């Protein structure tokens, strides 16, 4: 699972064609979903598959395929200095976090002690976190309307 997740993440960023990159991203998101299953959180895992792979990945794939233009996939190669800086930054962050994890006693927690099911999640969402849910619904509606307006306003301009 770990290999699938991390390997697909690298494919997503390094694949030549952006279509393959999108498929790699979907694979990486699926890997994270399987990790959620391993963490005894099946509800979140199914939500992840439904929303990320079912909506986000498919949305990206459709956008790339519908606007089939050369420039979408063509990318000027980054200069070797930028690439070196990127690799160094990424490796430094990974190293720092891994050293921090190894240095602490996080690995001694080997039992999943939380038994929260979707019933508990539902109770939490509908009682204490209800305002967050309402605000999130508004944000979702606003973002969808905004996305539609963006593409539509531009179409009227070009006519």
Partner 1 sequence: MNSLGDFVIVSAMLFGIGVYGLVTKRNALRLLFAVELMINAANLNFVAFGQYLPFEGGAQTAAPNALGQTFVLFSIALAAAEAAVILAIVVVAYRLHKDVDVSELKSMEG
In the list 16, 17, 65, 83, the residue contacting partner 1 (rule: CB under 8 A) is: 83
In the list 16, 17, 65, 97, the residue contacting partner 1 (rule: CB under 8 A) is: 97
Q: How far is the CB of 13 from partner 1 (least distance, A)?
A: 4
In the list 16, 17, 93, 134, the residue contacting partner 1 (rule: CB under 8 A) is: 93
Q: Is 114 helix (H, G, I), strand (E, B) or coil?
A: coil
Q: How far is the CB of 126 from partner 1 (least distance, A)?
A: 11
Site string for partner 1, 119-138 (x = CB under 8 A): -xx-xxx---x--xx--x--
Site string for partner 1, 42-81 (x = CB under 8 A): -xx--xx--xx--xx--xx--xx--x-x-xx--xx-x---
Site string for partner 1, 137-156 (x = CB under 8 A): --xx--xx-xxx-xx--x--
Question: How far is it between the farthest Cα atoms of the chain?
Answer: 64
Site string for partner 1, 9-48 (x = CB under 8 A): xx-xx----x--xx--x--xx--x--xx-xxxx-xx--xx
Q: How far is the CB of 85 from partner 1 (least distance, A)?
A: 6
* Binding footprint of partner 1, residue count (CB under 8 A): 86
DSSP labels, 5-50: HHHHHHHHHH-SSHHHHHHHHHHHHHHHHHHHHHTT-HHHHHHHII
Q: Is 17 helix (H, G, I), strand (E, B) or coil?
A: coil
Cα separation, 32 vs 14, in Å, equals 19
C-beta neighbour count of 136 within 10 angstroms: 12
Q: How far is the CB of 45 from partner 1 (least distance, A)?
A: 9
Cα separation, 125 vs 134, in Å, equals 10
Cα separation, 83 vs 87, in Å, equals 6
């Amino acid at each position: 699972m770990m290999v699938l997740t991390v390997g697909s993440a690298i494919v997503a960023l390094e694949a030549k064609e952006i279509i393959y990159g999108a498929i790699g991203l979907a694979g990486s998101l699926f890997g994270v979903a399987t990790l959620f299953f391993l963490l005894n959180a099946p509800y979140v895992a199914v939500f992840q598959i439904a929303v990320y792979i079912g909506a986000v990945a498919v949305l990206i794939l459709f956008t790339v395929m519908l606007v089939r233009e050369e420039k979408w996939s063509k990318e000027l190669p980054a200069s070797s200095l930028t690439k070196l800086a990127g690799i160094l930054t990424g490796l430094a962050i990974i190293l720092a976090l891994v050293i921090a994890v190894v240095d602490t006693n996080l690995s001694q927690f080997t039992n999943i002690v939380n038994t929260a099911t979707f019933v508990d999640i539902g109770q939490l969402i509908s009682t204490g976190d209800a305002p967050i849910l309402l605000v999130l619904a508004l944000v979702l509606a606003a973002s969808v309307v905004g996305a539609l307006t963006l593409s539509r306003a531009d179409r009227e301009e070009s006519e």
